[in-house]
Amino acid sequence: TPSRSLPLPPGPKRYPVIGSLLHVPVDLPWKTFHEWSKIYGDVVYVKIPHKKIVVLDSIEAVLDLFEKRSEIYSDRPQTVMNELMLVDRWCFPLIGYSSLWRSYRREFHQFFNQHQVHKYQPTQLRGCQVFLQRVLDSPSQLNQHILLLMRSMILKIVYDMNVTDLEDEFLRLANEGVEKITEAALPGRFWVEFAPILRHLPSWVPGASFKRYVEDLNPKMDELLDRPFYTVKRDYAAGTAGDSMAATLIHKLQSNEDVDKSQREYHTRNILGVAYAAGSDTSTAALQSFFIAMSLYPDIQTKAQKELDRIVGPGKLPTFEDYDRLVYIQAIILETLRWLPVSPLGLPHRVTRDDEYRGMLIPEGTTVIPNIWAILHNPEDYPEPYRFNPDRFIKNGSLNTSVRNPMNIALGFGRRICPGRWFIHSSLFITIASTLHTMDIFPDLGSDGNEFDPFTSENVYSGIKLTLGALPCTVTIRSDREPLIRDIAIS
Ligand code: HEM
């Protein structure tokens, strides 16, 4: 065990951003963290009352700790709100490194690992076709079509649910639930995080807003997790359930002679809910970044369309069969994940025992945050990092494996790495290829006549994730592709 007398990593003595850390919305903290790293190095200690935080600003430090020492860097910090909202029981992305987390993750992985995700290709393809038809019918509703595409795709795979409208009651409830959990995770949103004693206040006491928040949220969350699960269970019993993750797991539950059936049922219900909670907004945001990039880089759009015309041909829509030959599209996926990352600070890890790193002490219980934004914009790995340039990943007509792959950064690290990464990759592939093959994307000019700049606009990130309420671009369907879209037979 390292000596407690080792120095802590350097960091700001006074906390110039404490104000912003304690207020919502948190103002692009990855930028502040990166500024600190220029002064203190790539391992920065941030002292906040009652919390120990270390921010890692380089890929070297992240790999050294999260990957090489993953046995001690795979826990999650626990918050009072998580406990009150019971997410520490059902939502495994936030559960500590434990046998409970492991069993959830193992089950989840069975559905989303690289050998399984091809099963979802027909659903992904069908989802894209419906998307193209919707855009053709009402191009001005582009953002709504994107939201519906990604949300409905996951619900179809998880529960065989067919959602055709953003106003769908279940969808509205589900998004409210996800938003509330994310909001509660923001540093400083609830004072109870800084003074845990407050948790004992009754909810009518002024200042106990967190209690009312939880009392409002918890029954809704339960309903959200229960309703689709029990619908599939009922259909399964009646022999009418379609193919879905839920049906597979319910089948397993039925055939399992387990003593504790209700516990296993609770477990199953939760796994299914997590796919939606973790997968839908992230996928949507990634696709929104793609649309923004294309609107701002018309030359890249044209280059991609030429590749598609050459390889897929103007007379058909792209399919997964075209993947290997669509190298430029593959590079666009990587550049999309890099250029405007969905999750600039990832999810925090927590170290479970005292650790020594480069002669410094990282004390047990420290929250360790990877500065994914800074790593993806490091000019040594990605020259001119703010330019959207898929060619940086290509050499002699193939993907250049000597350039650091953003898939290994944007989706987190070590034992906690995003288990949805193969799924998101194939969702993005088919959507991006289908979109570029059929549409032209243009920027919407702001009231000042300028193009939208995602790096200076205030409305791109909310809290710690990419959240675009509106999409500053317009699309038109390429006229010779219209018949392709009209002719798709949607059953
Ligand atoms: C572009 C889209 C996505 C991005 C950028 C993204 C990013 C991330 C990141 C950064 C983490 C934290 C990793 C860490 O702790 O180091 C994570 C975890 C997770 N992601 Fe994703 N994700 C995306 C899509 C998805 C999808 C589609 C699913 C499900 C189908 C999913 C399911 C999860 C789950 C369950 C976890 C928690 C893993 C754990 O704590 O063990 N994600 N994701």
Distance 411 CA to ligand 1 centre (A): 6
Tell me the three state secondary structure of residue 441: strand
pLDDT grade for 254, boundaries at 50, 70 and 90: confident
Q: What percent of the chain has pLDDT over 90?
A: 65
Q: Is the pLDDT of residue 23 over 50?
A: no
Contact by Cβ (8 Å): 267, 195 = no
How many Cα atoms sit within 13 Å of 37 on the Cβ side? Answer: 22
- Among protein residues, the one with the nearest Cα to ligand 1's atom 16 is 412
Position 199 scores a pLDDT of 66
Distance 426 CA to ligand 1 centre (A): 15
Residue 92 CA: nearest ligand 1 atom is 40
pLDDT digits (tens, 9 = 90+) for 395-438: 999 999 999 999 999 999 999 999 999 999 999 999 999 999 99
Average pLDDT estimate for 455-481: 85
pLDDT digits (tens, 9 = 90+) for 49-77: 677 889 999 999 999 999 999 999 999 98
Instruction: Please give the Cα distance from 421 to 355 (Å, whole number).
Output: 29
Distance 238 CA to ligand 1 centre (A): 34
Q: Is the pLDDT of residue 25 over 50?
A: no
CB atoms within 10 A of CB 211: 20
Position 462 scores a pLDDT of 73
Residue 414 CA: nearest ligand 1 atom is 16
Contact by Cβ (8 Å): 170, 180 = no
Contact by Cβ (8 Å): 439, 478 = yes
pLDDT digits (tens, 9 = 90+) for 180-201: 777 776 666 656 566 666 666 6
All structural domains of the chain, each given as residue ranges with its CATH number in brackets, are: 18-486 (1.10.630.10)
Is 473 known as a binding-site position?
no
- ipTM value > 0.95: yes
- Among protein residues, the one with the nearest Cα to ligand 1's atom 19 is 418
Read out DSSP for 263-291?
HHHHHHHHHHHHHHHHHHHHHHHHHHHHH
Q: Which residues line ligand 1 (CB under 6 A)?
A: 93, 105, 108, 112, 274-275, 278-279, 282-283, 286, 342-343, 346-347, 349, 410-413, 416-420, 423-424
Distance 420 CA to ligand 1 centre (A): 6
Residue 341 CA: nearest ligand 1 atom is 5
Read out DSSP for 344-390?
TT---EE-SS-EEETTEEE-TT-EEEE-HHHHHT-TTTSSSTTS--G
**How do the residues of the chain divide into helix, strand and coil, expressed in percent and rounded to 5?**
55, 10, 35
pTM of the model as a whole: 0.93
Distance 11 CA to ligand 1 centre (A): 29
Residue 417 CA: nearest ligand 1 atom is 13
Distance 366 CA to ligand 1 centre (A): 21
CA 375, 380, 382, 387 torsion-angle sign: positive
Q: What percent of the chain has pLDDT over 70?
A: 91
- Among protein residues, the one with the nearest Cα to ligand 1's atom 37 is 93
Distance 306 CA to ligand 1 centre (A): 33
Residue 285 CA: nearest ligand 1 atom is 1
Distance 106 CA to ligand 1 centre (A): 14
Residue 105 CA: nearest ligand 1 atom is 41
Mutate to test the pocket of ligand 1, among 411, 413, 416 (most ligand atoms within 8 A of CB): 411
Q: Give the range among 32-36, 160-164, 172-176, 431-435 with minimum mean pLDDT.
A: 172-176
- Among protein residues, the one with the nearest Cα to ligand 1's atom 3 is 282
